[in-house]
Amino acid sequence: MYKVYFITFGCKVSQYETELLKSCFAEAGFVPADSSADADAVVVNSCTVTGSGDNKSVYAVRKLRRELPGAVIVLTGCMPQASPEAALKVAEADIVTGTKDRAKLPSLVLDVLADRRRIIDISPLSRDETFEEIAYSPTDSHTRAFVKIQDGCECYCSYCMIPYARGRFRSKPLADLAREAEMLAAAGRKELVLTGINIAFYGCREGKRLADAVELCCRTDGIERVRLGSIEPEMMLPEDLDRLAALPEFCPQFHLSLQSGCAETLKRMNRRYTPEEYASLTEQIRSRFPYASFTTDIMVGFPGETEQEFSESMAFAERIGFAKIHVFQYSPRKGTPAAKMPQIPASVKHGRADRMKALGDRLARSYMEGLVGRTVPVLFEREKSEDFHQGHAPDYTLIKISRKNSKKSLRNEIFYVTIEGVGEDCCFGTLTEAPAE
Ligand code: SF4
């Protein structure tokens, strides 16, 4: 039996697609390897969102080739799809494929294992591409499952290669989503996270809304929580928020991709909202979800970002009061408009990243301190330590309770916890009765 190992770069969509690939390889008779050193084949699922994403994937392939001369090395995903010429130059990869026809990857690996040769199979994405459905069964036993409901993006933010790697907007049909949600519930998943390249545009070609997908998942027997992955702010309309607010299973954690809190920087990024529109959306959300948390991605060092623009971005992040900020330093991606703009020195980018991260840490702490005294339902997950049970609240705060008073496993169950204190990246509390309605 051949062993396969996976290395994933990039976003939740990449991670979800790796889960699908794992299932496809298991179907084809492969078993998971404990490490790359132990594998007959290693699949590198690449990312291309920035230039550094590309470099990491290529570096990984080259390192694997040096360390594992006999293994089949696969380079797949966004990087070869967006930049086939660059991917073809990665001669260390035995197989190079893009974002299409992923289900046939195990058979390509078997071909190369049987008859050592190089396979290049990158099909261009057509204008009438449909959502690629890959049947799978979960290969892990987690409480939470990601479900990809959407692919493609046509927004063309000036720094991003994703539209070239993923093609046009397309959505998982509701009937397929219903089947997947039922399958995941039957496999013991209690929480679904709806994800995609740009889920705000879910159903835009079919006259559907993201709220349709959320409602369907919330109605699935056995699913107790549904949350959204990262979302672009401009497509969340008041009527969608009203529909989400009517769903008790919906978790009010909003990862609204900001990128910059400065109007001028946003314009150069070709983002489609102003800071004021973003702030107004958070107010509309707060009026419907008083316990909503806001998390986001912020890019620093975008071409032309002045100290004044960066300060505006910092001040805006403070104004929103994010519960968590993922900070990225801009790295130029060849083929995008931003790569041709005047660049910021690396030392300035590092300094700004450090300052934004420090702000993010301070805001996260202050958000968690604001939770002390509240009682929240926690969906408990796999025990990771001898000392604590842990799980997440609806707003995605990590909650830990001591195992001293409760030895039995709480895994995959929802219990109420009163929050009593704050740690580095979590809140601590004790089990309590459900509050009276
Ligand atoms: S919305 Fe912008 S950043 Fe996000 S995938 Fe589309 S082009 Fe890239």
Structure tokens at 275: 């800071």
Of 13, 150, 158, 198, the one to substitute when testing ligand 1's pocket (max ligand atoms within 8 A of C-beta) is: 198
pLDDT tens sequence across 385-401? 888 999 999 999 999 99
**CATH superfamily to which 144-369 belongs:** tm_1862 like domain (3.80.30.20)
Is pLDDT of 336 > 80? Answer: yes
**Ligand 1: which atom is nearest the Cα of residue 161?**
8
Task: Give the closest residue to 145 by CA, choosing from 99, 171, 180, 103.
Answer: 180
* Paired strand residues for 31: 3
Q: What is the rounded CA–CA span in Å between residue 376 and residue 374?
A: 6
What are the residue boundaries of the structural domains of the chain, listed by start?
A: 3-121, 144-369, 375-432
pLDDT at 50: 65
The residue with greater pLDDT, 52 or 345, is 345
Of 148, 160, 195, 257, the one to substitute when testing ligand 1's pocket (max ligand atoms within 8 A of C-beta) is: 160
> Ligand 1 — pocket residues by CB below 6 A?
153, 155-157, 160, 162-163, 197-198, 232
Instruction: Tell the residue nearest (CA) to atom 8 of ligand 1.
Output: 160
3-state SS, residue 435? coil
pLDDT tens sequence across 417-428? 999 999 999 999
pLDDT tens sequence across 62-73? 999 999 999 999
Q: Are 153 and 162 in contact (CB under 8 A)?
A: yes
pLDDT at 63: 96
Highest mean pLDDT among 51-55, 129-133, 248-252: 248-252
Q: What is the rounded CA–CA span in Å between residue 282 and residue 298?
A: 16
Distance 17 CA to ligand 1 centre (A): 18
Distance 437 CA to ligand 1 centre (A): 41
Tell me 259's DSSP state.
Answer: B
Q: What is the rounded CA–CA span in Å between residue 169 and residue 155?
A: 10
Mean pLDDT, the chain, rounded, equals 93
Average pLDDT rounded to a whole number, residues 356-371: 98
Q: Is residue 373 very low, low, confident or very high in pLDDT (cuts 50, 70, 90)?
A: very high
pLDDT at 56: 87
Distance 405 CA to ligand 1 centre (A): 47
Is pLDDT of 102 > 80? Answer: yes
**CATH superfamily to which 375-432 belongs:** Nucleic acid-binding proteins (2.40.50.140)
What does the buried/exposed string (b/e) look like for 93-112 if buried means 16 or more CB atoms within 10 Å of the residue's CB? bbbbbbbbebbebbebbbeb
Q: Is residue 182 very low, low, confident or very high in pLDDT (cuts 50, 70, 90)?
A: very high
Instruction: Tell the residue nearest (CA) to atom 5 of ligand 1.
Output: 162
The separation between CA 141 and the C-alpha centre of its own chain, rounded to angstroms, equals 19
The pTM for the full model equals 0.88
Instruction: Tell the residue nearest (CA) to atom 4 of ligand 1.
Output: 198
Tell me 107's DSSP state.
Answer: H
Q: What is the rounded CA–CA span in Å between residue 75 and residue 98?
A: 8
Q: What is 3-121's CATH topology?
A: Rossmann fold (3.40.50)
Distance 203 CA to ligand 1 centre (A): 17
Average pLDDT rounded to a whole number, residues 423-434: 92
pLDDT at 172: 96
pLDDT tens sequence across 294-331? 999 999 999 999 999 999 999 999 999 999 999 999 99
Structure tokens at 377: 């339902």
